[in-house]
């Protein structure tokens, strides 16, 4: 059944030129990728993501953390973008000034055609030296052992932002500028729990944006939203593109 959108939201969007979108793991759920709050499966069931996605976990057991990311990278590699990803790539074409800010590391937005994109938490396909002396793109073969940096010999690690680590400076700055100058800010498929990404919606609202949340479940941001649509982003977003005409 088609999502119905309030006419005033549609006319505001049709007249808008500056739109910013934050996405989280929920946007990739219909591509078959687990979200952060879904219970992990198999051997990962005994771990919480927060206990694997940290520098301490990597220090303690680099092999385990590598295996965790290698499994997720394989999953992301075989996953396909879903209609929600494609709808976001379509929306990008409709607004003069559109930025897609994602917390996801699966690369599915790029594969669906999104161009104006900031990856706040890095990307599964890239690896870098744990002492930051270089970044190696597109790690092809899945390393049997934890690979060493060719320059300094330190262990290589996935180029993602772990809990307790700072987000990429330029990406975060770009995201904050886009959020606080937007006319409409969407928060899509995210539980709104992880900082500083979750604050972007409130920064946008404070700066005068219309804040729209699209998420399967209500979140701590829902009561701040001017419009909240609860359901699957892979259904609601294509409906929005259709409704905008
Ligand atoms: C920092 C990359 C400071 C790795 C990720 C208290 C104690 C300890 C720490 C903190 C604290 N308070 C704040 C912090 C800091 C911490 C934080 O926020 N912790 C949280 C857990 C409380 N933040 C940090 O550590 C950040 N760094 O603060 O640094 C600093 C500053 C300067 C110098 C040094 C340090 C770093 C955070 C980044 C961590 N890395 N990812 C990896 O992926 O392995 S975060 C990780 O969580 C993913 O990126 C994920 O995207 C993100 C958020 O999760 P969601 O995307 O929202 O996914 P989730 O499962 O939660 O929700 C999915 C939603 O989708 C659900 O609501 C569901 O209903 C919905 N959904 C499901 N299916 C669908 C759907 N919606 C629509 N359609 C569907 N089909
Ligand atoms: Zn190095």
Residue spans of the domains in the chain: they are 1-33+81-121+167-245, 34-78+124-160
Q: Which amino acid residue places its CA nearest to atom 20 of ligand 1? A: 194
Active site (annotated) includes residue 121: yes
Which residue would you say has higher pLDDT here, 238 or 151?
238
What was the pLDDT predicted at 82?
A: 98
Closest ligand to the CA of 196 = 1
> Could you report the per-residue pLDDT of 15-29, keeping only the tens digit for each?
999 999 999 999 999
CA 120 – CA 99 distance, rounded (Å): 12
Residues with CB under 6 A from ligand 1: 24-26, 29-30, 35-37, 50, 53, 103-105, 121, 160-166, 189-191, 193-195, 215-217, 219, 232-234
Question: Ligand 2 centroid to 132 CA: how many Å?
Answer: 6
Closest ligand to the CA of 131 = 2
Predicted confidence (pLDDT) at residue 145 exceeds the cutoff of 90 = no
Tell the CATH superfamily of the 1-33+81-121+167-245 domain.
TPP-binding domain (3.40.50.1220)
Work out the mean pLDDT of the chain and round it to a whole number: 93
The pTM of this model reads: 0.95
What was the pLDDT predicted at 137?
A: 67
What was the pLDDT predicted at 140?
A: 66
Ligand 1 pocket test target in 21, 190, 217, 238 with most atoms within 8 Å of CB: 190
What was the pLDDT predicted at 142?
A: 64
Predicted confidence (pLDDT) at residue 43 exceeds the cutoff of 80 = no
CATH T-level assignment (fold) for domain 34-78+124-160 = SIR2/SIRT2 'Small Domain' (3.30.1600)
Q: Which amino acid residue places its CA nearest to atom 19 of ligand 1? A: 194
> Could you report the per-residue pLDDT of 146-185, keeping only the tens digit for each?
888 888 999 999 999 999 999 999 999 999 999 999 999 9
Mean pLDDT calculated for residue range 36-65: 85
**62-67 contacts, C-beta under 8 A, 24 or more apart:** 62/146, 62/155, 62/157, 63/145, 63/146, 65/157, 66/143, 66/146, 66/157, 66/158
Which position among 121, 173, 174, 230 bears the catalytic label? 121
Which residue would you say has higher pLDDT here, 148 or 83?
83
- The rounded Cα 238 to chain-centroid distance in angstroms is 18
Predicted confidence (pLDDT) at residue 41 exceeds the cutoff of 90 = no
Domains 1-33+81-121+167-245 and 34-78+124-160 share a fold: no
What was the pLDDT predicted at 141?
A: 67
Q: Which amino acid residue places its CA nearest to atom 49 of ligand 1? A: 103
């Amino acid at each position: 059944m088609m999502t119905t959108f309030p006419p005033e939201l549609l006319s505001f969007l049709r007249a808008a030129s500056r739109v910013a979108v934050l996405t989280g793991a929920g946007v990739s759920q219909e591509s078959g990728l687990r979200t952060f709050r879904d219970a992990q499966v198999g051997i990962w069931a005994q771990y919480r993501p927060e206990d694997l996605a940290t520098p301490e976990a990597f220090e303690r057991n680099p092999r385990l953390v590598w295996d965790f990311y290698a499994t997720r990278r394989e999953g992301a590699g075989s996953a396909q973008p879903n209609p929600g990803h494609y709808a976001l790539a379509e929306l990008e074409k409709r607004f003069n000034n559109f930025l897609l800010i994602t917390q996801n590391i699966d690369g599915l937005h790029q594969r669906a055609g999104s161009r104006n994109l900031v990856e706040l938490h890095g990307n599964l396909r890239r690896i870098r030296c744990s002492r930051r002396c270089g970044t190696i793109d597109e790690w092809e073969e899945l390393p049997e052992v934890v690979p060493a940096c060719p320059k300094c010999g330190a262990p290589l690690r996935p180029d993602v932002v772990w809990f307790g680590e700072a987000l990429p400076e330029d990406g975060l700055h770009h995201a904050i500028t886009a959020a606080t100058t937007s006319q409409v800010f969407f928060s899509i498929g995210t539980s709104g729990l992880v900082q500083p990404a979750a604050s972007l919606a409130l920064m946008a609202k404070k700066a005068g944006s219309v804040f729209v949340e699209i998420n399967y479940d209500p979140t701590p941001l829902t009561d701040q939203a001017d419009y909240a649509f609860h359901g699957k982003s892979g259904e609601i977003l294509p409906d929005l593109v259709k409704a905008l005409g």
